[in-house]
Amino acid sequence: MDALHATGIRFAEVLQSGPPWLEKFWISLTSLADPKCIFTICFPLAYFLDRKVGVSVLWIGLVSEWLNVVLKWFLFGERPFWWVHESGFASKERVVLRQFPVSCETGPGDPSGHCMITGAALWPLVTALMALASKHSRSLVAKLSPFGAYALLLLALGLSRVFVLAHFPHQVVSGILAGAALGWGLQAHTPAARTPGFFVATALALLLSSLALHSLLIAVGIDIDW
C-alpha cells in the first residue's frame, strides 16, 4: 500500500503544479459538489422536473450516504494530507505539496464520499435525460451527451479531491465505480409510491443502525475513530 500511496502523492504534486486558474477550478468544484448538494439542490431540481426521478435521486442519495460511511469503517483508507507526514514519507523524500482550507478532512478515506454519493444519486437523472434526448433526436452524440457530462463531472470531481489532498487516486476510482454501480442497481428499486413518512423512518433507521454498528466495532476493539 505504501507504493500506491507514494504514487498518489506524486500524482497530487503534478496536479498542484498546474496554472492558478485551474487551482481555483479544483477548489470550487470540490466545494460545490459536496454530497449535501444532492439533498439541497439536485433533489429539488429533479423533483420539479419529474417526481419519480426526484424521489429516485433522494432515495439513492440517502442509501449511498449511509453505505459510504459503513464502507469507510471497514476499508479504512488513509488521507494524503495526514499520511505524507505520519508515514514518514515527507522526511525521506522531497515533497512539494500545498495545504488548502478544505485539505484537513479526517476519518477514513476509502471510498471517496464525494465521488460515490454524487455518482450514485445523479444516475437516475442522467438516465432520464438520456431517455429524453432519445425521444427528440436520433443523433447518437445527443443521446449519449448526458452520460458524457456525467462521466466528465465524476472525473473532474475525483481529480479535485486528489488536488486538495482529501483522497488518493485509488480511493477516487473506488468511489466512482461504487457510485455508478449503486445508482444502476438501486434505480429500479426506488420506492416512488411511498409517503414522506417512509423516508423519514428509513433515514432514522439508517442513522440508528450506523450508531449501533459504530458502538459494536468500538466494543470489539476496532478503533474506527483513529
pLDDT digits (tens, 9 = 90+) for 140-167: 888 889 999 999 999 999 999 999 999 9
Active-site choice (5, 85, 136, 167)? 167
Query: CA 226, CA 13: separation in Å to the nearest integer?
Result: 26
Domain boundaries, the chain: 1-220
Whether the pLDDT of residue 188 is over 80: the answer is: yes
- What is the pTM for the complete model shown? 0.91
pLDDT confidence band for 108 (50 / 70 / 90): confident
114 or 103, greater pLDDT: 114
Q: Which of 5, 114, 170, 214 is catalytic?
A: 114
Neighbours of 151 (CB within 10 A): 15
d(CA 4, CA 106): 20
Neighbouring CB atoms inside 10 A of 137's CB total: 12
The per-residue pLDDT for range 189-206, each reduced to its tens digit, is 888 888 888 888 998 999
Reference 144, options 123, 125, 129; nearest CA is: 129
Q: Give the pLDDT confidence of 18-39 residue by residue, as tens digits.
A: 888 899 999 999 988 889 999 9
Q: How far apart are CA 127 and CA 147, in angstroms?
A: 8
Whether residue 5 lies in the annotated active site: no
User: Residue 167 catalytic?
Assistant: yes
> Can the peptide bond before residue 111 be classed as cis, meaning omega within 30 degrees of 0?
yes
pLDDT at 226 over 80: no
What is the distance between the alpha carbons of residues 106 and 79, in angstroms, rounded to a whole number? 7
